[in-house]
Each structure stands twice: as C-alpha cells, then as structure tokens.
Amino acid sequence: MAEEQANTNAAEGDDSPVFRMQKMYIKDFSFENPNAPSVFQAQNQEPKVEVNLKLNNKKLDDNHYEVALQITAKILDKGNNDKTMFIMEIEHAAAFLMKNIPEEHQEMVLGVDCPTLLFPFTRQIVSQISVDGGFVPFLMEPINFMALYQSSKQEAAQKQN
C-alpha cells in the first residue's frame, strides 16, 4: 500500500521537498610537519590549537548545490616556544540535492543542515590524517552550525542598521 502511494505521488509529479547528500569529496588537502623529527622528541604538553573555519556554497544547477568546509588547523607545542607541530588545511565538500525546498528556507539549509551532515566526515578525515602524520588523533570539537548561522544573521542585521 505504501509503495502504491509512493508510485502514485511520483507519477503525479510530487512536490514534496527532497533533501539529501549525493556525493562527498576532498577538493584540496595539505598536511605539513615542518619540524619532524625533532617535534616527536619533545616532551609535548597540552598543545596550542588554532582552527579557522570557512563555509562556502554554490549552486550547481536547478536542484543541486555544493557546500564546502574549509578548515585550517595549526597545532603548536606550548612547552617548546610555540614550535609548530603540524599544519593541516582541508577543503571538504559535498553535492546536495535540494528539490522543492521553499526559497525562504534554502539559506538555512545550506548554512546549517548541509554542513551539519558533512562535518562528522570532515572531522574523521582530519583525525585520521593527524594519526598518519605521526601524532595523536586531532579531534575537532563539534560545531553548532545553527548558532554560527544565527550569529552571522545578527551581524548582518547590525551592519544594515
């Protein structure tokens, strides 16, 4: 019965919203370990972490968008005059199908829902590469993309006033 209903809706040109990730990919990646092997001999304390995040999106066609997370992480050894342990840069992206999403919701879907789906995979890649680079896993803190979206909307409103 449910299959019949689904087939009927598809045949009639169902206008219900469709949202899903279709493909993930790494667009750009860099890992630098400029002070190897001496960085491994030091008695590392709690490292100093500098992380920058940028979110980009672009329309690919009528129903497809690309959303990309650009992350730069610089890990420094606090106990050794902030000597660089490693620098990692990644642009991890995904193509999303967004069909019949109301125009007024698209900005939030692109700024919140898409990166929320993509980030755990980006975090896993970053963690694995830090291990492959000879370090303990670098686990980025979870990111509240809704809070970032709301903050950027408030800043934009303040700039207009």
CATH number of 16-156: 3.10.420.10
The kind and range of the H/E element at 130 are: helix 114-132
Domain ranges of the chain: 16-156
For residue 132, the surrounding DSSP H or E stretch is helix 114-132
Q: What is the mean pLDDT of residues 20-26?
A: 97
Smallest Cα–Cα separation from 50: which of 101, 20, 86? 86
Whole-number Å distance between alpha carbons of 43 and 115:
36
pLDDT of 112 over the 60 cut: yes
Say what the pTM is. 0.84
Mean pLDDT of 4-15: 55
Percent of the chain clearing pLDDT 90 (strictly above): 71
User: How far apart (Å, rounded) are the C-alpha atoms in residues 138 and 72?
Assistant: 13
pLDDT one-digit tens code per residue, 50-90: 999 999 999 999 999 999 999 999 999 887 788 899 999 99
Q: How confident is the model at residue 11 (pLDDT cuts 50, 70, 90)?
A: very low
Q: 149 Cβ partners below 8 Å, 6+ apart? A: 108, 111, 112
CA angle 17, 22, 27 (to 5 degrees): 130
List, edge to edge, every strand of the sheet that includes 83-99. 18-32, 83-99, 64-77, 48-59
Is the per-residue pLDDT at 28 higher than 70? Answer: yes
